[in-house]
Amino acid sequence: MKKIIVLIALVMVPLMCGYVWAAEIAGKPAGVENAFAMPAQSPSYPPGPYRFIDREYLIITYETDMDALRKQVPEPLEIPEALVKFEFISMPDSSGFGSYMESGQVIPVIFKGQKGQYVLSMFLNDDAPIAAGREIWGFPKKLAYPSLGVDPVSKDTLVGRLKYGSVDVAIGTMGFKYEPVDKQAIKKALEEVPNYLLKIIPNPDGSTAIRQLVQYNLEDVTVKEAWTGPADLQLFHHALAPVANLPIKRIVSCVHFRSDLTLPYGKVVYDYMK
């Protein structure tokens, strides 16, 4: 009997000590110095950089109204010509973000004498890259429902479509793989042309905490295939997805390509608060 009591005591003492230790740990305040993003205990996305495999683009470049364009592009960026690139992007394999679709408008600009691109709007169907894009770089991302793929009925047309909710906002079409395009030229443009974003973050009292012009450059780009062909684009007015505020005068060019690339962190190149 004494042996049984001793054995029970030997088992229970470590367990009781463990409960006390766990209770002490559980009662300690959570440290925030190593928190990467929100929510602190389970961020919506992991730290970067972010690798994309088989990222597929349909980019239709069109001429628009210069006065309308000036209202959309912030200083100190300059507008060399009244062009807009409307993008439909499929991202089936994105580290940390998963598989999703994206669409938006990009405007060729000049900053300090160097050609670049200003990202005006982005619409996508995945929470993680929306949160990461807005919080880290200042990507102008909103939840919507873009798509990109070959028309299942005609079978000879690449179709990009952007829906905001259930409403069509943009439809782009291109003849599927009509003519090959120089892959090295696209790689060079993706890696060397800087991209600019207007990052705005409010304070809890509603005042502005951050208003910055952010630059990023894509890295480690491999262009696997690239094509062009006849293309067209339709934009539809929508109160909350105002892509049609930059009207189409004429289609200038289009390109369809598939690539692997890395999105690294960016840098602040202009601070509007200073």
Q: Which residues are catalytic?
A: 141
Name the one residue in this structure whose structure tokens are 């207007």. 198
Cis peptide before 39 (omega within 30 of 0): yes
Whole-number Å distance between alpha carbons of 24 and 14: 15
Instruction: Specify whether the CB–CB gap between 90 and 101 falls below 8 A.
Output: yes
Q: Are 102 and 121 in contact (CB under 8 A)?
A: no
Q: Would you tell me how many other CB atoms lie within 10 Å of the CB of residue 200?
A: 14
User: Residue 196 carries which side chain, given as an amino acid letter?
Assistant: Y
* Residue 204: other Cβ atoms inside 10 A: 6
Q: Cα–Cα–Cα angle for 256, 240, 85, nearest 5°?
A: 25
Q: Is 213:74 a contact under the CB 8 Å cutoff?
A: yes
Q: Which residues pair with 195 in a beta bridge?
A: 117, 216
Q: What share of the chain is helix, strand, coil (3-state, %, to 5)?
A: 20, 50, 30
* DSSP state, residue 31: P
